[in-house]
Structure formats: C-alpha cells, structure tokens
Structure 1
Amino acid sequence: MAYSLTEIRTRTRHDPAAFLAECDEAYQERIRHAADVIVQRMEKSPIVLLSGPSGSGKTTSALKLEEELERRGVNTHTVSLDNYFHPPSHPAAPRTPEGDIDFESPQLLDMALLDETFTRLSRGEEVTIPRFEFSRQMRNDAKGWPLHLRDNEVAIFEGIHALNDDIAGRHPEATALYVSARSNVLEDGAVRFKGTWMRITRRAVRDCNFRGTDLTDTLSMWHNVRRGEKRYISPYKGRAHIVVDSSLPYEAAVFANYTAPLAQALESLPPSNPRWKELHDLLDAFRWFEPIDPALVPPSSLIREFIGGGTYRYK
C-alpha cells in the first residue's frame, strides 16, 4: 500500500479532523480483522505472538486487539516480552560488531522461560509472569504476577522477537501477528516519505518525550536498530498469520511539528554514522507536508503512543 501526498495535502487543508478520523477508522478495521482471525484460531492455541520492528506501535496494537477481543467475549491478557529480558550484565550478553551490548538481539531474552511459559499456559496451568525493571536493569521476581488461562481466554505476548525461531518456531500452533508501518508516501511515483522513516520519527519523539533519552543518542543508534531488524526480525515475518500495516496517512504531517528538536539532534550526529545521510533526508522530507496540529489527533489514535495525551496506559 502507498499513500498519495496530493491527497494528504488536500484532505489536510479542507477538513483535517475528518481526515484523521477516517485514517484511524481504517486502522481500526485492520485490528478488527486481526481479532477475527485470533478468535477463529483459539481452538489451536490460546497464545498470540505479536511481533514487529521498533516504532511499529506494537503496544497500542496489542491494547486495541485486547479491546476488540473483549467485545467478542474473549478475556484477554497482554504481556510484554521485555519482561523476559536477561540483565545486560548477563555473561552471555550479545555484542555488536562495535563491541557494545546488542540490545536488538534475541539472545537477551530468556528463551527457556518463555518456552516453559507457553507450554504450561497451553496445558491450562498457572505461570508467573516476571517483571523486568528497566530502572535497575534487572528482573524482579517479587513483582511478578500469576496468569492462568481458562476457557475463552487468550494471552497476547508482544515484542520485536515474538516470531523468532526460539519463540514462534517452538510454538507454531500459536497465532502469529506482524505489525509494522509499511506504507510510503508518493507523489507522481516518487517516494516523498518512507514507511521506515515513520518508525524512526515515532521512536525519536517518544524517547524524547517519555523515556529521558537524548535525541542524538536515539538517532545514533538507528543504524544498529535497522541492522538488528534485518537480521533478527524481518526474516521471520513470513510466519505471521496476519500482517497489519500500522502506518497512518496523516502522521508525517503531525510529526512535522517536531522537526526543530530533530534538526538540533542531527547537528550533533557525526557524518561517520552509517545512517547520517538517510536521517538528513528524513528531516528534509517534512517540507512536503503541511503540519497538522497534534491537538486534533484523537485520544485513541495509535500516534498518541508517541506524542502522549492518549487514552491508553503504557506500563
């Protein structure tokens, strides 16, 4: 799928609120279709594995799926795979070619515990979901919580590596979803804004607003994030029973309001960074869009995961 820049401009000028509502409804329809497939496959497994690269809106998608399934009478539990991290100080922590800890690698996850969790849940047994404390960079088992799936219940496990060989590969009976911002914005056949640029913009704005991360640090790590996607995430998307495009036609126009901090951060990014030119091209691409006031973004929109002010609670 691709979006038309001409249509985006026209709709932005004439009735931006209606344009946003229409785009969000189209995404909600994709979520409804995914919920239908999950319900159809419940007899095979109560486990749902939701994967996708960084900035795809996996967390909001999981929460929206939870709402849709609850409307169908299916009691739903959403679990982040981040809770299954090994501490970065783990002796076997993977390293990037540059020698840093590779936070994109699936080797940071406790695969044995995940395998045991899925097996026991499928048998109707109770498990304890661990809690990873990012502030302390460690798992705190005392803050774990019990989970027992009964009839007409499912658990959605969301994370970038959910479709990996050591997760979905061990449990092919689970329903697999792949979520990503996949659509480019075109004008007369020329690409004006890439789907991957939507994801790095989402991540940069979120990290700056809510995670206390220096924006230059976020941008400087993008090359390793993309390297990890190509190595650890994209090769497994073929396992998905459902592929959901999480891009929204209006989002580049909303994120055009955040170009000032992006430009400032790029000033500190050295030209030696492998993604230096791409990130400058991204910043330049916002000139094609007329900004949309973020206040017009509905509270339930997926974009609220990144700009704040939404109705969903993110743990």
Structure 2
Amino acid sequence: MRIIDLETINQAMDNETQFVLRCEEVFHDKVSSAAAAILSAGRDRRIVALTGPSGSGKTTTAMRLREYLENLGVKVCLLSMDNFFLPLDQRPPEATDWESPYCVNVEQLVGCIGRLLDGEEADIPWYDFKTGTTGGYNKMQGNRDCVVIAEGIHMLNPLIFDKIRGAATGIYVAPRTRILTDKDRVVRPEQLRVARRLIRDYNTRGHSLRETVERAESVNAGEVNYIQPYKGNASIHIDSFHDYEVCILAKYLGNIPDFQQQLTPEYMEEHKLTDLIEVVQSVPPLHTPYVPLNSIIREFVGGSCYQY
C-alpha cells in the first residue's frame, strides 16, 4: 500500500508541468510493463481480462494498452463487457441489481472472444442503457495472431474467468494509493473514485452530485461482493492513481455551480466523505492544458482523445 501526503503534493505543484509529466510517465511505464507481460505469456494466453471497480480508469487503461500493443505491430480486438448485458426482460432472478455478474450474457461474450481468436468475424452487441435492451450489433474481424482485451467489472469473476482462465492474463486496475491529510487522516481509494465520478457523472450523465454520492454506496457494496474477492485472479495489478489528480479534481469540483450547496459539511460527514472534501479544498487547482489527451484523468474531466 502506497501513501502520499498533502505536503508532497503541494510542493510538487510548484512546477505543474513537471509534476504532471512525471506522473504520466510513471503510468506509461505501468502500461508498458503490462504489455511486456502479455507478450511474454505467448500464443497460449492471448486473452486479457481487465477489470476494476467503477471509477478506476479501466476503460482508458484498456485503450492505452491496446495502443501500446498496436504500436508493436500486434493486432488487438477490444471488447467492453458492458455491451454484453442481458436485456432487462431476460435477466435471471439472481440478477438483483446492476452490479451483479448475472446481468452479463456470459455465453455470448465468451463466444465472441473465441471467434475473434479463431480469426473469424464476430457480431459484437452494443447495449442501449436507456431502453435496457441490446441496441444492435457491429462487426469485428478477428485474427489468429490477435490479442483480445475484454474489459469490465466482472471479467475476473469465476462466472466468466473460469471459462477463459487457461488462455487469459488477468489485470486489476484501481487507484490504490492513500492520501494522508494534514490531520493525519487517510483518504481511501474508494473516496477518490467518488470524486472522479462526481465530475464525470455531473458533466456527461446529468446526475446531481448527491445522486452520484448515494449511487456510489451501492456501487461500493457491489465491489465488495462481486469484484474484490476475485482480485487474486489477476497476475498484473495497476495502481491508476496519479499524484496530481486531486489538484485537477479540485478545479473541476469547484467549477460546479451548486457544489457547496449540494455537498454541505453535514451531508459529507453523513456519507463519510469529509476527509476527501478537505483534501480537495486544501490543494491548488490544476488546469487541464497540462494534462495529456490520453490521460486516465481525462476519462473523468473530459477532453480525452478516446471515445467512451
């Protein structure tokens, strides 16, 4: 477990450009190390099962990994587990909420992975979250030498992973670094993920700040029940925390017009987020021109070169 204190972050902000670039270089090295491990695994392990909790940055990590491998001349097929959700009217009784792995059409997902690895064309569904149905299909061409990256919150769950275990490398992506406050309190990774989602969901999904906070409690329960128990299936662990990110989160949270009205001290204390807000309010804001377009942070604050 890594811990960074606020004093270190504030001192590093004396040179914002250097601070950002140093953090991004650290993350680039993590992606390149993961790519090397995948290639070293050889032809028998051409599936990458990449997972992490909501707000972990797993989607950007998967895209960065694909980009890195493609630059080495590797054919990569990237799949999102979210597109393989069962239509609402086809879900079994076990699928009690959106966090349940029983929401996933496992046979369809595994079947598509198999066809792509065999060099065949596969019909890849896309899920319409507004209607709760499969919205249609897109063609994807496989290759007998390709690597298939499948990302989603349940990719390491035995319901899925046991069907591909012999041919897969598991990757677990999540912020793991703790932030030590001036009062010697610790801001945990799940609190940081709430801050990421507050900005993203407000700007792109029309959610109020309080909706996101309250939704996060259900998401965190799903993580404890369905994701954390299977971290052991990952041979690669990537800490997606960027030391500078609380400074850019401070800027974007501060720009939300009703931030202080919605997230009052009493409300944040009730939801155990007081330490997070104190950190956000005690660091200098960082401006986005310093942040690369392919950064994980862009997944949450906007301006990414990737389509989500």
TM-score by length of 2: 0.90
Corresponding residue number in structure 2 for 1:103: 98
SS of 1:160's equivalent in the other structure is coil
Which amino acid counterpart does residue 213 of structure 2 have in structure 1?
Answer: L
Which of 113, 120, 135 lines up with 1:140 in the alignment? 135
Instruction: Note the residue ranges of structure 1 that are not aligned, 5 or more in a row.
Output: 97-101
SS of 2:219's equivalent in the other structure is helix
1:292 and 2:289 aligned: no
- How far off is 1:95 after superposition? 6.1
- How far off is 1:11 after superposition? 1.1
Corresponding residue number in structure 1 for 2:28: 28
Say if 1:118 and 1:309 are closer, same or farther in 2 by CA, change over 3 A. closer
Corresponding residue number in structure 2 for 1:166: 159
Partner deviation per Cα, 1:60-85 (whole Å, 9 max, x = no partner): 10110011101211111211101100
1:268-283 paired onto structure 2 within 5 Å? 276-283=270-277
Say if 1:190 and 1:268 are closer, same or farther in 2 by CA, change over 3 A. closer
1:157 and 2:160 aligned: no
1:246 and 2:243 aligned: no
- How far off is 1:299 after superposition? 2.0
Corresponding residue number in structure 1 for 2:126: 131
1:215-230 paired onto structure 2 within 5 Å? 215-230=209-224
Say if 1:265 and 1:172 are closer, same or farther in 2 by CA, change over 3 A. same
User: Does the 8 Å CA contact 1:78/1:156 hold for their aligned counterparts?
Assistant: yes
* 1: CA distance, partners of 2:104 / 2:265: 32
1:197 and 2:198 aligned: no
SS of 2:263's equivalent in the other structure is helix
Which amino acid counterpart does residue 156 of structure 1 have in structure 2?
Answer: I
User: Does the 8 Å CA contact 2:121/2:139 hold for their aligned counterparts?
Assistant: no
User: Does the 8 Å CA contact 1:184/1:191 hold for their aligned counterparts?
Assistant: no
* 2: CA distance, partners of 1:36 / 1:169: 24
- How far off is 1:282 after superposition? 2.3
* 2: CA distance, partners of 1:264 / 1:32: 43
SS of 1:288's equivalent in the other structure is coil
Which amino acid counterpart does residue 111 of structure 2 have in structure 1?
Answer: E
Corresponding residue number in structure 2 for 1:213: 207
User: Does the 8 Å CA contact 2:186/2:275 hold for their aligned counterparts?
Assistant: no
- How far off is 1:267 after superposition? 4.9
* 2: CA distance, partners of 1:156 / 1:79: 6
User: Does the 8 Å CA contact 1:83/1:132 hold for their aligned counterparts?
Assistant: yes
* 2: CA distance, partners of 1:32 / 1:235: 27
Say if 1:235 and 1:301 are closer, same or farther in 2 by CA, change over 3 A. same
User: Does the 8 Å CA contact 2:48/2:147 hold for their aligned counterparts?
Assistant: yes
* More deviation, 288-297/118-127: 118-127
Say if 1:91 and 1:76 are closer, same or farther in 2 by CA, change over 3 A. closer
- How far off is 1:124 after superposition? 4.2
Which amino acid counterpart does residue 162 of structure 2 have in structure 1?
Answer: G
* 2: CA distance, partners of 1:270 / 1:23: 32
Say if 1:269 and 1:44 are closer, same or farther in 2 by CA, change over 3 A. farther
TM-score by length of 1: 0.88
